[in-house]
Structure 1
């Protein structure tokens, strides 16, 4: 059983979705070491604020539409 809990700021995340319904999240932290994950669940610990054009809120909507369950309603 492989279990990991990646943590990132909204500014470090980007979404990619395929026509087959697969959703992946790219994590590109400022400290380097980019990676892709397919989340089973998302936990938002703080209110998404700021960002260019409401990017954090759009990211959460994308996760929701991609079928990723979350801890907080959008």
Structure 2
């Protein structure tokens, strides 16, 4: 049960309703061009690329948790 609460909390932290992923320099350059579609496309690309490190770390943490849980149940 505690494991589900932790994942739910992490999900709420990393899934905000509005994500602004551009740095100040990228935003200034893209806004000066006047093309809102280009700025939105760059922002979406940055958010998309941010997903993979979190998925990898989450997968590794899951396998570590599962291996510790198997060791604990086999020792009991």
Identify, as 1 or 2, the structure richer in helix.
2
- The structure, 1 or 2, with the larger RCO (C-alpha pairs under 8 Å, 6+ apart) is 1
Identify, as 1 or 2, the structure richer in strand.
1
Shorter-chain TM range is under 0.3
Q: Which has the larger radius of gyration?
A: 2
